[in-house]
Chain A
Amino acid sequence: MRTQWSPSAAPVTPLSPLHPDDRHPCALGPMDPLRRSPSPCTSRPPSPRTPPCEMLGHVGIEAVLEQLKIKAMKMGFEFNIMVVGQSGLGKSTMVNTLFKSKMWKSTLPGLGVPMPQTLQLQSVTHIIEENSVKLKLTVTDTPGFGDQINNDKCWDPILGYINGQYERYLQEEILITRQRHIPDTRVHCCVYFVPPTGHCLRPLDIEFLQRLCRTVNVVPVIARADSLTIEEREAFRRRIQHDLRAHCIEVYPQKCFDEDISDRILNSKIRDRIPFAVVGADQEHLVNGRCVLGRKTKWGIIEVENMAHCEFPLLRDLLIRSHLQDLKDITHNVHYENYRVFRLNQSHALPRGPGWVNLAPAPADLTATPGPWKVRWQAHDSSDEEC
């Protein structure tokens, strides 16, 4: 029996002493650390339900929650987010607005550096602290995406980067003596910025989303939504949802990972509003005596945190306040496991026992999503030799 050991930040596996085959979903709310993680396989037969035992008095089991919290606060949290979209859609500003800090020096329109000829990925890491909770936040930007005349295969560097991070984690994980806490650089969430044309998704968007949804959690948003009126926004949203369904693109929160009814209700509400129409701003203005983040124009001030103006609060709540842990769980238990299975199958080396380490070298082309792969004869020979 394989327990899921996830060394990243908050502990995920329930440590119930009575039932080794853990199957009790704790309905404690969206942020509780004891929530069972979805299994990587599509379906495992549920274990026979163990009957609950009546307690004769107060024992103090709930103190374990406190211990988990203290441990988590000591270790700190890690979160890796990637922002993808054409230049000028407000990605850097959005990141600054989300985390209310100058993560990035946002480039103002008209003053941007000349567009890079090829797609380059840039990562920046910061540690931000709030109420003694530390978050190590890594933001990866993708300048040059979709800006060229020929945008064919512009998603390859991005896929390569994501798979590269999985590979790095995998290599750490299969070491004989591995670190207690493996640094987690895997991308937990990819925010995709859709330009506000008001019509429908473009062929580039469709191609990109199709490929990436199988590898990472993708949250599409309608960028620069202050160019659309409320009716146009709704119509655009419906059309995008229709396009996503028509092309079988599963964006976060994915329907198949809803665990119980409360999750499904909560996530359905979110799914109804995806993609969120967001506006980013990192300048403050005075409105009715309050200092708010917003954009000041001749005809009014667009408040970023006002639900009547844009849906930025929904995005922030999803990414940070309610689903941050869930994003990490799904990355670790689903996407990473898929990658791991694909790599192990590829090298014909399922683990043969403790200490087995040999793994075929990663293919030079890390852009392939798990699928049938050619046999690598070298790995085969060396593994025979080891035997």
Chain B
Amino acid sequence: MHISLTSLTKIDETSLKMSKQQPAQFINPETPGYVGFANLPNQVHRKSVKKGFEFTLMVVGESGLGKSTLINSLFLTDLYPERIIPGAAEKIERTVQIEASTVEIEERGVKLRLTVVDTPGYGDAINCRDCFKTIISYIDEQFERYLHDESGLNRRHIIDNRVHCCFYFISPFGHGLKPLDVAFMKAIHNKVNIVPVIAKADTLTLKERERLKKRILDEIEEHNIKIYHLPDAESDEDEDFKEQTRLLKASIPFSVVGSNQLIEAKGKKVRGRLYPWGVVEVENPEHNDFLKLRTMLITHMQDLQEVTQDLHYENFRSERLKRGGRKVENEDMNKDQILLEKEAELRRMQEMIARMQAQMQMQMQGGDGDSGVHGHHV
């Protein structure tokens, strides 16, 4: 029951087999027609293993939906050892914060540097209109930083902190997506891969779960939200893989239960939740979709990174560079305009003062003349 990180490197089983079949490639280069670049995947594999992988996962959802528990269950670690749940009084004053925790997981020589970005305070306030501004600016900041590093002189060790995937937790208690869910997903679907997840799935019976999934998918389509779509299996993959991909695609959004407690059930120890009416097993595919979520994350980690790089980052970059140029011009133009306007105003005021002065002078002269005339008369 371990996460198989070794599948991260895109190695075909077939190419491995091929290279294994010909161990003597260096010894006998005289084999006709054989060049030797079938060894390339091996080299890629070795290099990737040495380099390690980086993955940033963001979890967003209202508090109390089991986000931290699920992350701990997914990666079989405790990412939040000193967690204190704030009381109601603290929650009233709190705004959305971003907390990033990084762990290094190693398995069979493959290193993964996993960053989990948590967003406590999301959806807590009475007025949630501003709660996703912080999150969006964080995502943009990571893109900005990567762009800056990429455009810099030393590009050897760029740390990739861009958010590769966002798990959005949907509450199972509602009748579908809430207005806040829709607004948030529409705000970030062009910046990050969204994977919707139905939290606390053990409150739903099977029928309720199916209905809720269907309703959520309908609403996502209705509002034109672009969630992350699993790539179709290639035609040359084996049947098992194709079937697995098909099953995964059919189960989106995944309804999950998280737990790290070991419960005794049917003679063996399983991770689950103990209720008076039964035990919910986390890794039982009949109880929930936890295994499917984990499989999807592991087999498609590379794809998630690729889509982030090729689609979201490129979008951001082109927008930014376009905007970056024009922004400076605008400001200059504005400044010039303002200067001109101010000068024009000054001139107008000066003219007005001059006119008023002239008028007063004339009045005084006229008055003097008048009084003089009167004086003369008298």
Contacts and interface: CB of A to CB of B under 8 A. Distances in A.
Interface in B144-172: 171-172
B246 to A, nearest CB: 23
B64 A299 contact: no
Interface in B110-158: 124-129
B176 A151 contact: no
Interface stretch (B209-217, B320-328, B361-369): B209-217
A110 B64 contact: no
Contacts of A223: 173
Contact of A107 (B91, B175, B204, B214): B175
Contacts of B277: 299-303, 309
Contacts of B287: 298-299
A296 B281 CA distance: 16
Contact of B87 (A110, A197, A200, A207): A200
B274 interface: yes
Contact of B180 (A149, A201, A229, A298): A149
Interface in A90-120: 107-112, 115
B202 A243 contact: no
Interface in A181-238: 195-207, 223-224, 226-227, 229-230
A227 B202 contact: yes
A290 to B, nearest CB: 15
Contact of B127 (A110, A147, A152, A206): A152
Contacts, number: 142
A239 B87 contact: yes
A257 to B, nearest CB: 25
Secondary structure at chain A's binding surface: helix, strand, loop or mixed? Answer: loop
B44 to A, nearest CB: 43
A267 interface: no
Contact of B173 (A88, A206, A297): A88
Contacts of A268: none
A230 B275 CA distance: 7
Given A151-B127, A197-B65, A299 B175 contact: no
Interface residues of B, number: 51
A83 B364 CA distance: 83
Contacts of A110: 175-176, 208, 210-215
B280 A149 contact: no
B278 interface: yes
B88 A203 contact: yes
Nearest to A308: B276
A46 to B, nearest CB: 39
B126 A207 contact: yes
B3 interface: no
Interface of A: 86-89, 107-112, 115, 147-152, 195-207, 223-224, 226-227, 229-230, 239, 242-243, 246-247, 295-303, 308-309
30 contacts: A88-B173, A109-B175, A109-B211, A110-B175, A110-B176, A110-B210, A110-B212, A112-B176, A115-B178, A149-B180, A149-B183, A151-B126, A202-B63, A202-B88, A203-B88, A203-B92, A206-B88, A224-B203, A226-B202, A227-B172, A230-B275, A239-B87, A243-B87, A247-B88, A295-B205, A298-B287, A299-B275, A299-B279, A300-B278, A309-B276
